[in-house]
Structure 1
Amino acid sequence: MHNLTMSRHNGSELHILCSSGHLFLQPLWDRLRTWEALIQSPFFPVVFSITTYVGFCLPFVVLDIICPWVPALRRYKIHPDFSPSVRQLLPCLGLTLYHHVVFIFPMTLLHWVASRAPLPPEAPELLQVARHVVFCLLLFDAEFFVWHVLHHKVPWLYRSFHKMHHQNSSSFALATQYVSVWELFSLGFFDMVNVLLLRCHPLTVLIFHVVNIWLSVEDHSGYDFPWSTHRLVPFGWYGGVAHHDMHHSQFNCNFAPYFTHWDRILGTLQSAHAK
């Protein structure tokens, strides 16, 4: 009887926690739904993607500009003597804008024509959002790892599609999306399939895209701060900016974009700290 009472008590606590998570996100979701016409338009994914990406890149661009005159900042820069020039920054930004206008917008338009479901009235539970975002990141990490290894091990794939991303050996934020059209669509396909497989709520999809864009920009930023993501994740499970920089400099290691378990399992993990 005592165990039954405790079980009911624990179940009630879990229900309250989930309900609290739901109530926590509902005001935000209600506010977003007032802009449903904008969110449901074919222009929104393109504008959202560009503004999020450029917004995350701009602080690092500013840091690169002031870094030569701020010695204290150089201690956090992986390559202290490197700063991207205007001739490197502008082509990267131009290619990102070109890809979004010429390729991403038409695909978004096709998707908009094919499926225009109304936004759900209820927000997702907070725990569900966290769980789905983590699962999406883990799935993307595994998919990109396989894609990445193939495009390094097969010379034709590397020359034809992935070499473009490695033209900047010392990475910087705006070089994150300096990729071929094939790579652009491959990564976009992984994103789309994962949120569909998990049946993510539209709010979860937005949060996942923001997190994914931030992590990719941070990995290419060239700055290793005390608050960088890899320092916040325990046991070395997350690689981080120095980890990914090792891939750009050595080519044959650290193929996973974020986490370290696949490289560790398959023997391609190279510790940035050992370097």
Structure 2
Amino acid sequence: MLQPLWDYMRLNHSETLRSPLFPVILTVTSYFVLCLPYLACDIMGKKWLTIHRYKLQPDKLPTKAMLLHCSGVTLYNHLLLVFPAAVGQWIWRPPVPLPERAPGLLELAGGVGGNLLLFDFQYFIWHYLHHKIRWLYVTFHAIHHNYSAPFSLATQCLGGWELVTVGFWTTLNPILLGCHLLTSWMFMVVHVYVSVEDHCGYDFPWSISRLFPLGVYGGPNKHDVHHQKPNTNFAPHFSHWDKLFGTHADFNYAPPL
């Protein structure tokens, strides 16, 4: 089913797809586009009561200064770190010929799921260390916890080193798992989406966490807890590692008196 799409991309946009900058442009563009609906919800606030009732911390909306700060940090990190790192990939992984065969749908879905699970394990350990080792927390991760009520644009408000390591795993994991390029790019976009949703501050009926039974997937309510209680819910997406290591906590928000 994916072969006609892949043939069109491969035959008409080969040079663009083979560029080391393409994955970076894809993820950065996806990030800001996916943030826009949640940004609109935050800006409208209580004017959209139908939407606002799904806000996890309804009395805490991001200010204009907070939104500008997060956007500035994200653009700064990408211009000074991520884009140069992408250009540097030409040194160790020059552009390769695009495969003629497209992945099957099951192959693509399995690859995306496998990459999410692998990243979840990697970042659980990395995130835990950033909270337990004070130097790592103060130097790189503290900026992300400026906000006890997360919002979409806070997703990539990170120290530069942490953002680079996240990007490194996102790029390396599909190679380790032997994924098709189309699967790799789909994983990158899906990963951006679930990361934004985790930080969006809204628990909508269509949230991915509601599609998984037994609380297997964390979602925005679990990550909201992490920003309120930073020693809980270290895994970025799923819940099993936090449950195994005793750092899991459910959402329970009490508005201030």
Instruction: Assess same fold via TM > 0.5.
Output: yes
- 1:274 deviates by 9.2
Partner amino acid for 2:222?
Answer: H
Q: In the alignment, what sits opposite 1:166?
A: 145
The whole-number CA distance in structure 2 between the counterparts of 1:156 and 1:43 is 32
TM-score, with normalisation over the residues of structure 1? 0.88
Q: In the alignment, what sits opposite 1:27?
A: 4
- Greater Rg over alpha carbons, structure: 1
Unaligned runs of 5+ in 1: 1-23
Matches within 5 A, 1:1-275: 24-33=1-10, 34-114=12-92, 115-272=94-251
Equivalent position SS for 2:209: helix
Larger relative CO (CA 8 A, sep 6+): 1 or 2? 2
Partner amino acid for 1:84?
Answer: P
- 1:91 deviates by 1.7
CA 238–273 in structure 1, closer or farther in 2 if over 3 Å, else same: farther
The whole-number CA distance in structure 2 between the counterparts of 1:101 and 1:198 is 29
- 1:43 deviates by 3.4
- Once the two structures are superposed, what CA deviation does each residue of 1:140-178 show, in whole Å capped at 9, x if it has no partner? 000000011111111121111111111111110001000
Partner amino acid for 1:91?
Answer: H
The whole-number CA distance in structure 2 between the counterparts of 1:50 and 1:192 is 14
Partner amino acid for 2:40?
Answer: V
Equivalent position SS for 1:191: helix
With 182-191 and 239-248 compared, the bigger mean Cα shift is at: 182-191
Partner amino acid for 1:30?
Answer: D
- 1:54 deviates by 0.1
Please say if residues 40 and 116 of structure 1, whose CA atoms lie closer than 8 Å, have aligned partners that are also in contact.
yes
The whole-number CA distance in structure 2 between the counterparts of 1:273 and 1:248 is 12
Identity %: 47
- 1:112 deviates by 2.7
Q: In the alignment, what sits opposite 1:6?
A: none
- 1:113 deviates by 4.4
The whole-number CA distance in structure 1 between the counterparts of 2:91 and 2:135 is 36
The whole-number CA distance in structure 2 between the counterparts of 1:102 and 1:45 is 17
The whole-number CA distance in structure 2 between the counterparts of 1:50 and 1:99 is 11
- 1:193 deviates by 2.3
Please identify runs of 4+ aligned residues in structure 1 that moved more than 6 A: none
Please say if residues 41 and 52 of structure 2, whose CA atoms lie closer than 8 Å, have aligned partners that are also in contact.
no
The whole-number CA distance in structure 2 between the counterparts of 1:140 and 1:37 is 29
The whole-number CA distance in structure 2 between the counterparts of 1:79 and 1:272 is 11
Equivalent position SS for 1:66: helix
TM-score, with normalisation over the residues of structure 2? 0.94
> How many correspondences in the alignment?
252
Equivalent position SS for 2:2: helix
